[in-house]
Structure 1
Amino acid sequence: MSRDGAADDGVRVAITGATGQMGRAVLDAANGREDVTVAFAVARSAASGDRERDRDGKSGVRPASELDRLLAERDPEALVDFTGPESSVEYVATAAEAGVASVVGTTGFDDEGERALRESAERAPVLKASNFGRGIQALLSAVESAVADLPGYDVEVTETHHERKRDAPSGTAKTILESIEDARAENTTERVHGREGEAPRDPGEIGVHARRAGTITGEHEVLLAGNHEEIRLTHRAEDRGVFAEGALDAAVWLAGREPGWYDFADVVEGDR
Structure 2
Amino acid sequence: MRVVVTGATGRTGGEVAREVAERGHDLVPVSREPSGTIAGADLRPAEDLPALLDEAAASGDAVLVDFTVPVASAEYLSAAAAAGVPAVVGTTGFNSEGTAALREAADSVPVLKASNFARGVQALLNVVREAATALPDYDVELTETHHNGKRDAPSGTANTLLDELDDAREDALDRTYGREGEDPREPGQVGVHVRRAGTVRGEHEVMFADNDEVLSLTHRAESRGVFAAGAVDAAEWLAGREAGWYEFGDVIGDGGDDGV
SS at match of 2:55: helix
Among 21, 27, 48, the residue aligned to 2:11: 21
Identical residues among aligned pairs (%):
57
Q: Which amino acid aligns with 1:41?
A: P
Work out whether 1:37 is the aligned partner of 2:19: no
Shift of residue 204, structure 1, vs aligned partner: 1.3
Shift of residue 50, structure 1, vs aligned partner: 3.5
Pairs within 5 Å for 1:207-218: 207-218=191-202
Q: Distance in 1 between matches of 2:149 and 2:139?
A: 30
Residue in structure 1 matched with residue 215 of structure 2 by the alignment: 231
Among 36, 46, 51, the residue aligned to 2:34: 46
Q: Which amino acid aligns with 1:26?
A: V
Work out whether 1:266 is the aligned partner of 2:253: no
RMSD across aligned C-alpha pairs, in angstroms?
1.6
Work out whether 1:167 is the aligned partner of 2:152: yes
Q: Which amino acid aligns with 2:125?
A: L
Work out whether 1:127 is the aligned partner of 2:112: yes
Q: Distance in 2 between matches of 1:204 and 1:64?
A: 45
Residue in structure 2 matched with residue 7 of structure 1 by the alignment: none
Shift of residue 133, structure 1, vs aligned partner: 0.4
Residue in structure 2 matched with residue 3 of structure 1 by the alignment: none
Work out whether 1:205 is the aligned partner of 2:205: no
Number of aligned residue pairs: 253
Q: In the TM superposition, what whole-angstrom CA distance separates every residue of 1:186-222 from its partner, at most 9, and x where no partner exists? A: 2x44110000000111011111001000000000000
Q: Distance in 2 between matches of 1:172 and 1:270?
A: 17
SS at match of 1:181: helix
Tell me, which stretches of 5 or more residues in structure 2 are unaligned? 256-260
Q: Distance in 1 between matches of 2:210 and 2:244?
A: 42
Among 44, 47, 51, the residue aligned to 1:69: 51
Work out whether 1:94 is the aligned partner of 2:79: yes
Q: Distance in 1 between matches of 2:102 and 2:150?
A: 22
Whether contact under 8 Å (1:50, 1:62) holds in the other structure is: no
Tell me the TM-score normalized by structure 2: 0.94
Q: Distance in 2 between matches of 1:63 and 1:255?
A: 24
Q: In the TM superposition, what whole-angstrom CA distance separates every residue of 1:216-256 from its partner, at most 9, and x where no partner exists? A: 00000000000000000000000001000000000000001
Q: Distance in 2 between matches of 1:86 and 1:153?
A: 38
Tell me the TM-score normalized by structure 1: 0.90
Q: Distance in 2 between matches of 1:270 and 1:99?
A: 27
Q: Distance in 2 between matches of 1:129 and 1:207?
A: 23
Q: Distance in 2 between matches of 1:228 and 1:45?
A: 54
